[in-house]
Amino acid sequence: MKKVIFTESAPKAVGPYSQAIEMNGHLFISGQVPIDPKTGKIVDGGIKEQTDQVMKNIGEILKAAGYTYDNVVKSTCLLNDMENFTAMNEVYAKYYPNNPPARAAYGVVKLPLGAMVEIETIAMK
């Protein structure tokens, strides 16, 4: 059965979508942009600060659903500039020190709210 996951510890959706959906031991986390859930605004700083906030948001959604970063099997990273790929990887790697998930990374023209990075995630139990 499909279950909507929501936590106040992560940003509210900026459109008609859920933070995450859980079904049959699979958790599908919508693309997260670097919004600070306390302020509702994109965090200050560059790609490293933005990636860190995105990963924190993902962590809060994982926690709300009863998952951890160890349950993540796939991520898709969207970058507004592929020149930021290496710096994004430095931060991303800290959240997956062992057995990182499968991943794709794409350069895109523009991201919501002027974000530099957006990451969507799939986790399984």
The predicted-structure confidence for 59-102, as pLDDT tens digits, reads as follows 999 999 999 999 999 999 999 999 999 999 999 999 999 999 99
Domain 3-124 CATH assignment equals 3.30.1330.40:
yes
Backbone phi, then psi, for 72, in 5-degree steps? -70, 130
State pTM to two decimals.
Answer: 0.97
Closest alpha carbon to 106 in 89, 81, 88: 81
Residue written as token pair 């969507």: 120
- Residue 113: which pLDDT band, with cuts at 50, 70 and 90? very high
Predicted confidence (pLDDT) at residue 106 exceeds the cutoff of 90: yes
Domain spans, the chain: 3-124
Cα 120 to Cα 79: distance, rounded to the nearest angstrom: 12
